[in-house]
C-alpha cells in the first residue's frame, strides 16, 4: 500500500492514524477475477449459513447443474426447482438464484468486462435490482474482488463495532453518522474500513491504543414520523440486512439469559364477590 494513503488517512484522522500504527501495513487481499453471476450466486448460497454448509450446497449445484463446472445462467434456468431444492437451496434462494440468472441473460447484471467500466454507484444500482442481493453484498464485491479504493460499508456490523472500539464510543455509531465521519477518509475509505475490521482483533488481544482525543460524531436530525412510518422503515431496513445475511443487532452473549417479564400476582377478591 502506498505511503501516500497512510499519510493522508493519518493526517485527516489522528485516531485512525493511531490504529494504523498499531496494526501495521494494510494486507487487504484482492481476489482478482470477478465473474458477477458466479459471485452473486455464491453470495446467495452463503446468506444466513455457515461457510461449510454453503460450500456443500454449491458443490451439489456444480455437480447437478454444471457437470463439474459452475453452472451458467442458462443452465440454472433450465434446471427444475426440485433439482435446485435438492442441492440445498431454500424456496426463497431458488427464487433469488433464478432472478439472478434471468437478469444476467437480460444483461441487467453485466459481464466481467462491462462491470469493470462501471462506477461504484452504477454497480450498486444495477446489482441490487436482483432479488435477494442488497447493498452490503455488492460492497463486499467492490472491496474484495474489484479492489475499489473508496468503499465504506457503513451497515457492516464489524466496521461499526471496530469504529466504536477504536474511537472509545459507548454505543455503536449510526450508519448515517459513520458515513458523514468517513467523508474525511476519501478517496481511500476502503483502506480505512480494513483497519476498522482489524480494531476488533486488537481489542481482543488487549493491544488497542487509547484514542488520543475524544470525538463527537455528526448529529443526525431525525424527522418526525408516525408510529406506522417508523415501524415500516425499521422493518424494511431489517429485511435488507437479512437479504445480505447480516444481522442488525449484535449477537447475544454466551450464557446470557433472556429477560422475562415479572409474573403478575392475581388480585384478591372480597368474599362473596362474583368471579
252 within domain boundaries: no
Residue span of the structural domain in which 16 resides: 3-28+151-205
71 Rama sector, left if φ>0, alpha if ψ -120 to 50, beta otherwise: beta
* Percent over 70 (pLDDT), the chain: 80
pLDDT of residue 246: 54
Both 176 and 92 in a single domain?
A: no
Whether 212 has a pLDDT exceeding 90, the answer reads no
User: How many structural domains compose the chain?
Assistant: 2
Per-residue pLDDT tens digits for 176-197:
999 999 999 999 999 999 999 9
pLDDT of residue 1: 59
Per-residue pLDDT tens digits for 229-268:
556 666 766 766 666 665 444 444 444 455 555 555 444 4
Q: Sign of torsion, CA 138 141 144 150?
A: negative
Question: Rounded distance, CA 242 to CA 49, Å?
Answer: 12
Grid cell for residue 19: 490504529
Both 81 and 160 in a single domain?
A: no
| 229 Cβ neighbours under 8 A, 6+ residues apart | none
* Percent over 90 (pLDDT), the chain: 70
Question: Rounded distance, CA 75 to CA 87, Å?
Answer: 14
Of the residues 144, 162, 180, the one at which a domain ends: 144
Question: Rounded distance, CA 20 to CA 8, Å?
Answer: 12
pLDDT of residue 217: 87
Grid cell for residue 36: 458477477
Per-residue pLDDT tens digits for 72-111:
999 999 999 999 999 999 999 999 999 999 999 999 999 9
Both 41 and 108 in a single domain?
A: yes
255 within domain boundaries: no
Both 22 and 119 in a single domain?
A: no
Both 56 and 71 in a single domain?
A: yes
pLDDT of residue 239: 66
**Which residues participate in catalysis according to the annotation?**
156
266 within domain boundaries: no
pLDDT of residue 268: 40
Do residues 130 and 99 make contact, with C-beta atoms less than 8 angstroms apart? yes
188 within domain boundaries: yes
242 within domain boundaries: no
70 within domain boundaries: yes
Amino acid at each position: 500500500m502506498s505511503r501516500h494513503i497512510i499519510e493522508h488517512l493519518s493526517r485527516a484522522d489522528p485516531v485512525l492514524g493511531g490504529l494504523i500504527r498499531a496494526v501495521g501495513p494494510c494486507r487487504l487481499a484482492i481476489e482478482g477475477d470477478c465473474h458477477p453471476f458466479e459471485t452473486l450466486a455464491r453470495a446467495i448460497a452463503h446468506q444466513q449459513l455457515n461457510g461449510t454448509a454453503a460450500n456443500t450446497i454449491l458443490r451439489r449445484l456444480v455437480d447437478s447443474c454444471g457437470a463439474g463446472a459452475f453452472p451458467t445462467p442458462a443452465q440454472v434456468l433450465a434446471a427444475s426447482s426440485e433439482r435446485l431444492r435438492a442441492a440445498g437451496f431454500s424456496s426463497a434462494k431458488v427464487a433469488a438464484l433464478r432472478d439472478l440468472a434471468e437478469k444476467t441473460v437480460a444483461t441487467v447484471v453485466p459481464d466481467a468486462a462491462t462491470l469493470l467500466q462501471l462506477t461504484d454507484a452504477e454497480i450498486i444500482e444495477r446489482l441490487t435490482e436482483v432479488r435477494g442481493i442488497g447493498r452490503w453484498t455488492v460492497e463486499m464485491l467492490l472491496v474484495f474482488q474489484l479492489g475499489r479504493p473508496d468503499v465504506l460499508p457503513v451497515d457492516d456490523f464489524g466496521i461499526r463495532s471496530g469504529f466504536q472500539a477504536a474511537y472509545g464510543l459507548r454505543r455503536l455509531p449510526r450508519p448515517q453518522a459513520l458515513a458523514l465521519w468517513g467523508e474525511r477518509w476519501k478517496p481511500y475509505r476502503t483502506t480505512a474500513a480494513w483497519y476498522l475490521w482489524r480494531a476488533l482483533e486488537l481489542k481482543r488481544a488487549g493491544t488497542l491504543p487509547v484514542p488520543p482525543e475524544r470525538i463527537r460524531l455528526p448529529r443526525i436530525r431525525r424527522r418526525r414520523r408516525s408510529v406506522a412510518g417508523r415501524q415500516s422503515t425499521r422493518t424494511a431496513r431489517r429485511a435488507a440486512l437479512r437479504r445480505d445475511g447480516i444481522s442488525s443487532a449484535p449477537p447475544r452473549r454466551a450464557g446470557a439469559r433472556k429477560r422475562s417479564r415479572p409474573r403478575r400476582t392475581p388480585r384478591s377478591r372480597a368474599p362473596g364477590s362474583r368471579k
